[in-house]
Amino acid sequence: MTTPPYKDYYAILGVTKGADEKAIKSAYRRLARKYHPDVNPGNAEAEEKFKVISEAYDVLGDAKKREQYDSVGEQWRRASQGGGWPRSSTPSGSPTQEYDISSAHLQEILESLFGGGRDAHDQMRNRGEDIEFAIDVTLDEVMKGAIKEHAVNIEDICKTCNGTGSQSRRRGVLNIGGPACPTCRGTGRIVRPQRLKVRIPPGVRDGRRLHLRGQGAAGTTGHKGDMYLVVRVLKHPSFEIHERDLYTDVDIPYTIAALGGEISVQTPIDTRQLTVPAGVQSGQRIRVSGHGIPNPGGRAGDLYARVRITVPRKLLPRERELLAEIAALRGDRPPSRDKDVQADVASM
């Protein structure tokens, strides 16, 4: 039997031998997204690359297997492929596998190849990856809370082959040259669409990670990892969010700006009456206490109305007369030629 060529799993994932678990997982995710068969239908080259990438991560993503791989190098590859090992016989004549490796790793190699002797701790250690998705949330949902349906694609163990990638369905038995599972194309994994109902708490912050335990990818033992939904608060056309405070622009007529008065202000929840002090200036902020983002653990934020003073483009004759009198009282000199002023404004 020809010995399969040695594969450098670190080079396959594009990481150094000293890379930590996070770097290895990140590299695998990036490559898996690029070469997954569902993303490249009918592309045999991408499918083969995905198999090799998955094989590399299956070893380097598991601390025990990685230690074995780092210790025995090429012999790990030969053992895992079932080729190139001399066979001997027991007194009864039954063949046995001989491993030319240190006895310290013998039991671990056997367990990793044949699946024996694993307790609950080992199963949890071989659980699936934690996965992360973004979930878009509107300002209205931030203010009131909501139950949202969220569609995601989750990697799961192929039920046809039980995750072996082979039609044999036998986990832990070496399959040398056997036919690949037609459902998962030999990867042992499939991507399943799933719809989740997610509770969005009032006052949720942009960037918060919502933890859904046991909703992640399936592991080699079937135990799923966790899912994290990262909240992405969508921009609102009228309100800006700063921490727990809201900011909005409010148009105020020049008469109310000068004399003071009340105006209606739209908040994310309802409409409020806002008292405007006399002499307010454009750019000033008027605070509406407690009408910002809710805070489950304390006081809500505030709403700040940024003043924009508006001046009418056209005046009624009586308005013009009164403003002319005011201008005279203040010593202001109104323009004598309206057309010239309009031309200057239009050219700005």
- Tokens describing residue 338: 């309206």
Do 244 and 229 reside in the same domain of the chain? no
> 67-81, 175-189, 198-212: which has the minimum mean pLDDT?
67-81
Band of pLDDT at residue 126, cut at 50, 70 and 90 = low
CA distance 238 to 17: 51
Does residue 80 have a pLDDT over 60? no
Q: What is the CA radius of gyration of the chain?
A: 34
Number of H helices, E strands in the chain: 11, 13
Whether 180 is in a domain gets the answer: yes
Do 316 and 254 reside in the same domain of the chain? yes
Does residue 18 have a pLDDT over 50? yes
Does residue 3 have a pLDDT over 70? no
Task: Using CA atoms of 52, 57, 63, 65 in order, give the dihedral in degrees to the nearest 10.
Answer: -20
Q: What pTM does this model have?
A: 0.53
User: Are residues 260 and 277 in contact, defined by beta-carbon separation less than 8 angstroms?
Assistant: yes
**pLDDT > 70: what percent of the chain?**
74
Pick the residue with more confidence: 5 or 89? 5
Band of pLDDT at residue 140, cut at 50, 70 and 90 = very high
Domain holding 342, by residue range, is 240-346
Instruction: For residue 49, give the CATH number of its domain.
Output: 1.10.287.110
Do 246 and 341 reside in the same domain of the chain? yes
Do 249 and 228 reside in the same domain of the chain? no
Question: Among 199, 233, 267, which residue terminates a domain?
Answer: 233
pLDDT of residue 316: 93
Do 112 and 157 reside in the same domain of the chain? no
pLDDT of residue 236: 92
Do 106 and 138 reside in the same domain of the chain? no
Whether 4 is in a domain gets the answer: no
Q: Which residues contact 84 (CB under 8 A, 6 or more apart)?
A: 1, 3, 4, 78
Do 228 and 305 reside in the same domain of the chain? no
Does residue 151 have a pLDDT over 60? yes
pLDDT of residue 7: 77
Do 227 and 304 reside in the same domain of the chain? no
Does residue 248 have a pLDDT over 90? yes
How many structural domains compose the chain? 3
pLDDT of residue 41: 76
pLDDT, one tens digit per residue, over 297-334 is 778 999 999 999 999 999 999 999 999 888 888 888 76
Band of pLDDT at residue 214, cut at 50, 70 and 90 = confident
Q: Which residues contact 300 (CB under 8 A, 6 or more apart)?
A: 203, 244, 290, 291, 292, 293, 294
Single-letter amino acid code for the residue at 60:
L
pLDDT, one tens digit per residue, over 153-199 is 888 888 888 777 777 655 444 344 467 888 888 778 888 888 888 88
pLDDT of residue 185: 81
Give mean pLDDT, residues 265-287.
91
Inter-CA distances, 25 with 29, 39, 58, Å: 6, 19, 10
Whether 2 is in a domain gets the answer: no
Band of pLDDT at residue 142, cut at 50, 70 and 90 = very high
Do 254 and 316 reside in the same domain of the chain? yes
Question: Among 233, 251, 277, which residue terminates a domain?
Answer: 233
Whether 125 is in a domain gets the answer: no
Whether 326 is in a domain gets the answer: yes
Do 148 and 198 reside in the same domain of the chain? yes
Band of pLDDT at residue 6, cut at 50, 70 and 90 = low
Whether 126 is in a domain gets the answer: no
Do 222 and 299 reside in the same domain of the chain? no
CA distance 54 to 155: 12
pLDDT of residue 92: 40
Does residue 200 have a pLDDT over 50? yes
User: Are residues 166 and 264 in contact, defined by beta-carbon separation less than 8 angstroms?
Assistant: no
Does residue 118 have a pLDDT over 50? no
CA distance 293 to 4: 61
Band of pLDDT at residue 84, cut at 50, 70 and 90 = very low
Q: Tokens 């995905």 correspond to what residue?
A: 50
Inter-CA distances, 310 with 253, 256, 314, 322, 326, Å: 5, 10, 12, 18, 18
Pick the residue with more confidence: 73 or 47? 47
User: Are residues 220 and 111 in contact, defined by beta-carbon separation less than 8 angstroms?
Assistant: no
> 34-48, 81-95, 98-112: which has the minimum mean pLDDT?
98-112
CA distance 249 to 64: 59
Q: Which residues contact 313 (CB under 8 A, 6 or more apart)?
A: none
Q: How far apart are the first and last CA of the chain?
A: 85
Band of pLDDT at residue 285, cut at 50, 70 and 90 = very high
Do 273 and 213 reside in the same domain of the chain? no
